[in-house]
Structure 1
Amino acid sequence: MKQVDAIVFDMDGTVIASHAAVPAAYRAAILAGGGRQYTDDEIIAGYPLGAPSALLSALLRRPATETDVERYHLELAAVAAQVASYDGVPELLADLAGRAPVGLFTGASHRAAHILLERVGLADHFRVIVGGDEVTRPKPAPDGVVLACRRLDVAPQRSAYVGDSPLDLRAARDAGALAVAASWGHQYDPDAPADLTVAHPRDLRALLV
């Protein structure tokens, strides 16, 4: 197994299970902004659009305003109690934080990431947290992975990016990082190309020297 100097994680579907809370927050914000009712699947299908402002604009069918984005974050905070970390993730992060640089890149906004990670008590385990609103291009573009590695002061080629979705794996590979598939995530696709597939968070310990 290839070993690396740093690990960067995706958030939703990798570190935390938020596939009910996040669509609920978007749905409430969209309805408050005059949009129509959307299903969870319809909202999740829009995740590749990137940060909240882009997804809200698409679903509202008009440019999202600062009020729309603020409403989304308030709604997310209101439902954050529904979010939980995956089994084994807190223990893994506590172990890794003392051994190597650990970062996170998510398509969610930086603010949304902190809302959810603080709710489950994991925010302090990450040396850097990069949100989708901090890069120009969303996944599968490698921009966020590259930025997280830069802030960790580790070359992407000496890093692993762990995510559950095909977009995560493409972003990792295009960044030059080891693409690690988290098979416990809700968007995991066994047919998506990955350099490594792990069945449980504890398996990631083997990536470090």
Structure 2
Amino acid sequence: MYQTYFWDFDGTLFDSYAVMAPALVYGFKRQQVEVSKDLAYQLMRQKSRGEAFKSLGKQWPQVDLKKAYADYKSYERAHLQSLQPFNGAKEVLAAIVAAGGQNFLLTHRNDEAWQLLAKANLKQYFTGGVSGADNFARKPNPASLKYLCEKYQVNPARAAMVGDRTLDIEAGHNAGMAGILFDPDDLIEDCEPDLRVTNLSAILV
């Protein structure tokens, strides 16, 4: 175990793709374009939401991407409260704290991430963190990680960034810390994590 863990939210702590993938499908379907949920999920997991929209926009140039994104956000807002944490999330977070370690949140999502953590009784395990509301450069830029390390006097050599995409691992490495890839369905190929797990509980082994 490391002393400090920095956690991505979407697709790492919470199974956000259960809403994000259908939301993307909905955004395109509103313009009579059928995108499979599996493709939507794969594109967002392997790259990012923004890259998924760009890729699909090239495939269907007739789609108004601004409207598709607005419809995506509308669907997501309507279903956001249904999001659930992954199995093992609470146990891992609690075990880290019990061992004298700390957890920090590092997400591009706005403060709704903190609200969902509180709703799931997980916020209590976090010392602090940053969200999209803090306006840091997006991962893999390490600015937010470096800020948290400095603010809370965290030694990067004893810390790890946990995420479900390559950009999370790169952000950790760029900040001088380890990267743990949570890849439950073995979709990520272009990545060199220090540890790769298919379930969160394996982080504690």
TM-score (norm 1): 0.69
Instruction: Count residues with an aligned counterpart.
Output: 182
Other-structure match for 2:103: 102
RMSD of the TM alignment (CA)? Answer: 3.3
Task: Find the aligned partners of 1:193 and 1:59 in 2 and give their Cα distance.
Answer: 32
* 1:73-127 CA distance string (max 9 Å, x none): x865541332111111111112212321111101212x12123323333222211
Q: Do structure 1's residue 157 and structure 2's residue 157 form an aligned pair?
A: yes
Contact 1:8/1:148 (8 A) holds in 2: no
Q: Provide closer, same or farther for how the CA distance between residues 151 and 5 of structure 1 changes in structure 2, counting only shifts above 3 A.
A: same
Note closer, same or farther for the CA distance 1:170–1:24 as it changes in structure 2 (3 Å cut): same
Show the counterpart of 1:65: none
Matched, 1:14 2:12: yes
Q: How does 1:1-209 map to 2 (within 5 A)?
A: 3-22=1-20, 41=40, 44=44, 47=49, 59-60=65-66, 76=76, 78-98=78-98, 99-109=100-110, 111-184=111-184, 188-206=187-205
Q: Find the aligned partners of 2:150 and 2:31 in 1 and give their Cα distance.
A: 40
Q: Give % identity.
A: 24
Change (3 A) 1:88 1:36: same
Q: Given residue 103 of structure 1, which amino acid in structure 2 is its aligned partner?
A: F
**Between Structure 1 and Structure 2, whose CA radius of gyration is higher?**
2
Residue 148 of structure 1, CA deviation: 3.0
Structure 2: runs of 5+ lacking an equivalent: 52-63
1:153 CA drift (Å): 2.2
Change in Cα spacing, 1:193 to 1:129, as seen in structure 2 (3 Å) is same
CA gap 1:199/1:22 in 2 versus in 1, 3 angstroms: closer
TM-score norm. by structure 2 comes to 0.71
Partner of 1:161, secondary structure, is strand
Change in 2 beyond 3 A, CA 1:4/1:92 = closer
Q: Where does the alignment leave 5 or more consecutive residues of structure 1 unmatched?
A: 50-57, 62-67
How far residue 201 of structure 1 moved from its aligned partner, in angstroms, is 1.7
